[in-house]
Amino acid sequence: MADDFLIKDPVGEAAALAPLLGIHDAAKLVPKLEEQHGYVVLSSNVSAASTATLNTLQLPGISLIASSMRSNPDGSLASTVLGGVDNAGLGSAGLEYQYQQLLAGQAGSERVLETPYGVSLPSGRVVTLRRPIAGESLELTLDAPLQYVTEQALGQELLASHGVSGTAIVLDSATGQILSMASLVNTTEHDSTLGTSQTWPASTGVTGVRDAMNNLAVTQTYEPGSVFKIVPFSAALLDKVITPSTRLSVPYQVTIAGKVFHDAESHGLESLSATQVLEYSSNIGTYEITRALGESGLLAGVSRLGFGQPTGLNFPGESQGLVASAQTFPSTDMAALPIGQVDAVTPLQVLDAYNTIANGGVFVTPSLVRATIGADGTMTKAPAGGTRRALPTAIAKELTQMLIRVVEGGTGIKAAIPGYTIAGKTGTAQIPYPGRDKYIGGDYNATFVGFAPAQHPVLSMIVVIERPTPDIFGGDIAAPVFAQVMNYALHRYGVPATPGLIAPKSTGSVSLFQDVTT
């Protein structure tokens, strides 16, 4: 800093300071040194070498004030989860904000006798009023190598599919610990939509792809489309409305209260088992199941799997979503809600629901913090996340077998991983106009969510890509990202392959139906 009341040679001092402060044009410093303000900050980041030189020069009116600088050894990795601090050093987003009090500790205070000019009195003594308390550190559940692979795979697909934003999460199925959580935006093609490039954090390493401003995995809601079909299927199995082999007559379309609902591709009257309805992601087949289930059974299934409720992660800005209730349930919701329309959920909520199936019907609260570490190095393990039984084990096993068929011969073939049985579901959902009862033509969210190995799940994962083009299908856009990241994770953690597994073979056309909800 400069006390310009003490500077007698502004031009000379500017010439001496400029190279030490990394300023090419010394003339730009002169006005600051002539300001007659008494306190002018010339630079907030002076190197150690320049500091040593300045101490030697002892320029009149120039003072050095010790400060600290934030260091990110892993660059922008997981930045939307970690968050950041403001100019005052206070947490402003993410975990930095959530755990501000714990991380910062508490400042101490002293009483010092001094003159009105700030000079300590020789006879006075310093009295400690409150001792400072050092802050603690957090040990996160995130796995840095897996986080990197997740961000790179998601970023590459964002560019390849021309998507606007992308989200991916990997969970430890048994504990609910989040092993990777990525939220990215494609600023190369969508900068005018998202904001100027200067507003975005550092690049992820994928050219033109940057970290989102917010953790989209928990703060952004979307109509999930066909991945929501797990709700009516789980409820119908539980209420014994269907079994996996129940046969249904499935027309191409139905009309409810003047509104037409149909499958993505035209077809005649089909006879499908309940498993095939899920495997091929038939909207009308799902409606036929829901009609037999009834409104109360459907809404119970929504609540049972955690939709419309907090996940328990308590991440800053997290949304609990919006779902239909008995008080606001028009007749058309019997067809729209079970196929993932007229509701708004977060990617983490969808993943939690499928992770419940992976856990044999037990919902596990997700977590990001494994332990806290005190100033003395003492580690305190974070409390285990809460659990609750949402479905009987037998129902979860039936659903798992049905979800395996989705990957083996249905819409999710591109999520297959050699040597492992994968269970999962695709979703391709139209994007609604905000505040209007219609959808944006040509805009979709592509989703794949699943777990592996299916019979003995270790990891669960979801991938959501916003507005890909020209290909829009979750099975084509999101499923390959799942396969790439999950393949890495299974090998990283040494998860044994499924014995005797024969890799599924695509026959070219995956099914009679695509997974578009419309």
The residue extents of the domains of the chain are 1-69, 105-135, 144-517
Query: What's residue 51's pLDDT?
Result: 84
**Burial category of 43 from C-beta neighbours within 10 Å (exposed 0-12, middle 13-18, buried 19 and up):** middle
Q: Is the pLDDT of residue 61 over 70?
A: yes
Architecture of domain 1-69: Orthogonal Bundle (1.10)
Element (H, E) at 102: helix 100-104
Rounded (to 5) percent helix, strand, coil in the chain: 35, 25, 45
What is the model's pTM?
0.85
Section 216-220 average pLDDT: 97
> Per residue in 101-132, is it b (16+ CB within 10 Å) or e — as a string?
eebbeeeeeeeeeeeeeeeeeeeeeeeeeeee
Label residue 508 by pLDDT band (50, 70, 90).
very low
Percent of the chain with pLDDT over 70: 92
Q: Is the pLDDT of residue 509 over 50?
A: no
> What is the rounded CA–CA span in Å between residue 4 and residue 38?
5
Element (H, E) at 398: helix 393-409
Of residues 438 and 117, more confidently modeled:
438
Q: Is the pLDDT of residue 188 over 90?
A: no
Cis before 316? omega within 30: no
**What are the angstrom distances between the C-alpha of 184 and each of 188, 352, 490?**
12, 21, 23
Q: Is the pLDDT of residue 431 over 70?
A: yes
> What is the average pLDDT score of the chain?
89
Same fold, 1-69 and 144-517: no
Of residues 222 and 192, more confidently modeled:
222
Reported as a single tens digit per residue, the pLDDT across 67-107 is 666 677 787 899 999 998 876 778 889 999 999 989 988 77
Section 465-474 average pLDDT: 96
Q: Is the pLDDT of residue 206 over 80?
A: yes
Q: Is the pLDDT of residue 33 over 70?
A: yes
Residue 230, token pair as written in the block = 């797990």
Query: What's residue 333's pLDDT?
Result: 95
Q: Which of 196-205, 228-237, 456-465, 466-475 has the lowest mean pLDDT?
A: 196-205
Residue 450, strand partner residues: 424, 461
Reported as a single tens digit per residue, the pLDDT across 260-288 is 999 988 999 999 999 999 999 999 999 99
- Residue 148: phi and psi, rounded to 5, are -65, -50
Architecture of domain 144-517: 3-Layer(aba) Sandwich (3.40)
Section 130-140 average pLDDT: 87
Q: Dmax over Cα atoms in the chain, in whole Å?
A: 99
Q: Is the pLDDT of residue 322 over 90?
A: yes
Of residues 271 and 125, more confidently modeled:
271
